[in-house]
Structure 1
Amino acid sequence: MGLEALVAKEVRNLGYECTVENGRVTYRGDATAIARSNMWLRTADRVKIKVGDFKATTFDQLFENTKALNWEDYLPEDAEFPVSGKSVKSALFSVSDCQAIVKKAIVDRMKKSYKKTSWLEETGALFKIEVSLLKDIATITIDTSGQGLHRRGYRTGQGEAPMKETLAASLVMLTNWHPDKPFIDPFTGSGTIAIEAALMGQNIAPGFNREFVSEGWGWMDDEIWEQTRIEAEDLAKYDQPLDISGYDIDHRMVEIAKANSIEAGLGDLIQFKQMQVKDITSKKEYGVIVGNPPYGERLGEKRAVEQMYKDMGQAFSKLDTWSVYIITSHPEFENHYGKQATKKRKLFNGFIRTDYYQYWGKRPPRLQQD
């Protein structure tokens, strides 16, 4: 929630027109679009095929409308197809019953399509189906991603409350950073924000280092995935120089961040160091700082966190050409930081409602043309 516009921008950059709704972006594409979307979308949670949607206020409606969908176009005879579900503000509120009815409807359709009289084996490729009911509209989807797209495959270790890679990429996208500018993550933790910035800076596809459940589907030809990975390799800018630093007060997290960066294929491209936020300084100009500091939500932490916000504000005030972006749930952040944000945006870090405080630095002077 709150990142739909970013996902839509990414989808359009891939060449697909889309519509934007709360919590989702919808667009039409072929098998190649499934592969490219999984490979390239940095801010989406997962890519699903919408098999159908319809009104369902009774179990009979749910059964008959599900059975009417063209399941044989997606599921082979031996498909393994578990059904999950959710229901919000709908007459059909028993999720377990809805799951069972959808499963039975698909089985009936498959038996007829494949001329089977016995039970389906379900020993083949995995197709994870979801029935989602919202205000009596049932939407039935197949997940093409498998693990969520935030699972980039580079995390060898993490801290207590790691930020999802998809949110970290979103925070970077919402800044004015370009690869030719210096970039600092002052609370780097396991390095996620800095690593996502580096991947974006060198245009490395976020899905390049992992596999997807739809790679096991017979109608998703191996050649499609091969071509998608070749495209990702061709578009990567491995020679793009970057000036990215990640700092953390905990030396153990610094070592974890270094290991994650290496696993992401970035080597020592990012400079990770142990440092307190109050000691951060730079002689460089027009850089960008993106930080996810402690929020002070735990008992006994609040006062120390508020002092840290004050120290941060004093340290960053000296970097007047830099733009600073901080995400936190603390309602009095601006007061402790010592400055009102140029702009703030409501975001969710997991289930925590946060604000993304944006402080825009001075713009570099325009180059005079002869």
Structure 2
Amino acid sequence: MSFIDLIATASFGIESVVARELQALGYTDTRTDTGRVHFRADEKAIAVTNIRLRSADRVLLRVGGFRATTFDELFEGTKALDWDAWLPENAEFPVNGKSVHSTLFSVSDCQAIVKKAIVEKMKSRYRRQWFAEDGPKYKIEVSLLKDEATLTIDTSGAGLHKRGYRPLTAAAPLRETLAAAMIQLSVWNPQRTLWDPFCGSGTIPIEAALLATNTAPGLNREFAAQRWHRVPKSLWNQAREEARALVVSDQPLQIIATDIDPEVLSMARYHAKLAGLEGKIHFQQADVADLQSSRKYGVIICNPPYGERLGEQREAEALYGVMKKRFHLLDTWSFYVLTSHPRFEWIFGRKAERRRKLYNGKIECQFYQYLGPRPPRPKGPSAE
């Protein structure tokens, strides 16, 4: 198999998490841009990364790139690329586009030019004048940034946040990919207690359990590239078998998920069952005002209400005041809070040791990180 250029797309602020995930999978030749992590690999990597990446939004195949300030340059540059190496004669290939700070600012015109150029290349390759486009889907994107055109094909299909375990959604759901990144940005590991006191439909605790048991998030879903001739079924079967062999099903866990709403809690239990995690997470109806624990060195990771809507801000601020009282009683714990509220630190009564700008959908948030003391190292034979 030959080496190809791939791109794992990521929400702003979690590119470094995606890069670390890629390196852990053995793809060490990476380069990070805003919202993208570039890497070189073989065709099998398309299957492996779609199945196993936790925080990436999509995996794109980079067909090529070039400078384009005129429609002629865009047409000729696109036509010169090796489309016939990927697109079969019956390929369905819709073209989407975006343009940022570029001379060619009309996205619809750019899409039409790229489509025409690919058709001309296909005519030359397959010796025909018309294409039915009734075969596998190859979703193409032309991205123009400062007059540099990049042409990609989406290998994922539905976004990678769609794991398949969450058919039901609560209000303002947190994306699975963002939850996975938040967990990996924390100090939590399976030897420590994790608690989400605003668990909603269960995304944070479920993603934590998947991570702790080394369960690949994409094991039970399909991807666009599964129908591509360049990525045969044997590669997908092999990638899935390898991922299943790595699952640690007997991993002891201390994951607590609570919420004041019994309906969303029932939803969270259902989602955990669909994810194959029944019995791995302790669900309980509880108000954050009653939060207490005798356990030491635990980690709270949560996504409380932001108060974005008119009239809800005071409720959110009152809730943050309750969090201040209850969280501060857990003097050995670490806290990680995602919110868009600009006065959270002031209300919480403590400045975060670290902050990171993240986006929950289109909402700009801060991920506030409060670090507790490190747990003592367990005494081994050498310490005696």
| TM class, shorter-length | over 0.9
- List per-residue Cα deviations over 1:132-176 (Å, max 9, x = no partner): 111111100000000010111110211121111000001100101
Spell out the pairing of 1:124-163 with structure 2 (5 A cutoff): 124-163=135-174
Q: Contact conserved, 1:84 with 1:129, CA < 8 A, in 2?
A: yes
1:269 corresponds in structure 2 to: 280
Q: Distance in 2 between matches of 1:96 and 1:141?
A: 17
Cα pair 1:156 1:256 within 8 Å, conserved: no
Alpha-carbon distance in structure 2 between the residues aligned to 1:130 and 1:297: 33
Residue 276 of structure 1 and its aligned partner are, at CA, apart by 1.1
Deviates more, 1:14-23 or 1:58-67: 14-23
Does the alignment pair 1:364 with 2:360? no
Counterpart CA distance in 1 for 2:131 and 2:89 is 7
Matches for 1:283-362 after TM superposition, within 5 Å: 283-362=294-373
**C-alpha offsets along residues 220-271 of structure 1, whole Å, 9 cap, x if unaligned?**
1111001100011100101101111111111110001011111111113211
Q: What pairs with 1:224-239 in structure 2 (closer than 5 Å)?
A: 224-239=235-250
Q: Residue 56 of structure 2 aligns with which residue?
A: 44
8 Å CA contact 1:181, 1:288 repeated in 2: yes
Q: Which runs of 5+ in 2 are unaligned?
A: 1-11
Q: What is the 5 A alignment of 1:195-206?
A: 195-206=206-217
Cα displacement string for residues 77-106 of structure 1 (whole angstroms, at most 9, x for unaligned residues): 110100011111111111111111100100
- TM-score, with length taken from structure 1: 0.98
Measured against aligned partners, the alpha-carbon deviations of 1:287-315 in whole angstroms (never above 9, x if no partner) come to: 11001000111111111111110111111
Partners of 1:137 and 1:345 in 2: how far apart? 29
Question: Structure 1 residues 47-56 or 334-343, which shifts more?
Answer: 334-343
Equivalence for 2:71: 59
1:29 aligned onto 2:36: no
Question: CA–CA distance in 2 between the matches of 1:278 and 1:345?
Answer: 27
Return the alpha-carbon distance in structure 1 between the equivalents of residues 47 and 197 of structure 2: 35
Partner of 1:109: 121
Secondary structure of the structure 2 residue equivalent to 1:69? coil
Between 346-355 and 163-172, the greater mean CA deviation after superposition: 346-355
Give the counterpart letter for 1:321 in structure 2.
T
Give the structure-2-normalised TM-score.
0.95
**Amino acid of the structure 2 residue aligned with 1:121:** A
**In the alignment, is the contact (CA less than 8 A) between 1:156 and 1:263 conserved in 2?**
no
State yes or no: 1:69 paired with 2:81. Answer: yes
Letter in 2 for 1:213: A
Q: Which runs of 4+ in 1 moved over 2 A?
A: 365-368
Measured in 1, the distance between the counterparts of 2:212 and 2:75 equals 48
* Amino acid in structure 2 at the alignment position of 1:364: P
RMSD, aligned α-carbons: 0.9
Is the 1:179–1:242 Cα contact (8 Å) retained in structure 2?
A: yes
Q: Is the 8 A contact 1:291 1:327 kept in 2?
A: yes
Number of residues of Structure 1 aligned to a counterpart in Structure 2: 369
Preserved contact between residue 258 and residue 268 of structure 1 (Cα < 8 Å): no
Distance 1:129 1:149 in 2: 17
Quick one: which amino acid aligns to residue 145 of structure 1? S
Give, in angstroms, the shift of residue 335 of structure 1: 1.4
1:261 partner amino acid: A
CA distance in 1, matches of 2:263, 2:74: 52
Counterpart in 1 of 2:193? 182
Q: Deviations over 1:18-76 (max 9, x none)?
A: 01111101011111111111011111110000001111110000000000000010000
Q: Aligned partners of 1:121, 1:364: CA distance in 2, in Å?
A: 63
Taking the TM superposition and a 5 Å limit, the aligned residue runs for 1:164-183 are: 164-183=175-194
| Residue identity opposite 2:24 in structure 1 | N
Q: Higher mean Cα deviation, 38-47 or 267-276?
A: 267-276
| Mapped partners of 1:367, 1:50: distance in 2 | 47
Conserved 8 A contact 1:247-1:274: yes
CA 1:241/1:366 → structure 2, altered by over 3 Å: closer, same or farther? closer
Equivalent position of 2:90 in the other structure: 78
Greater CA drift, 337-346 or 234-243: 337-346
Percent identical pairs in the alignment equals 54
Q: 1:242 aligns with which of 239, 253, 274?
A: 253
Q: What residue number does 1:251 align with?
A: 262
Distance 2:58 2:377 in 1: 41
> Which residue identity is paired with 1:275?
A
Structure 2 SS opposite 1:52:
strand
Which letter maps to 1:219?
A: R
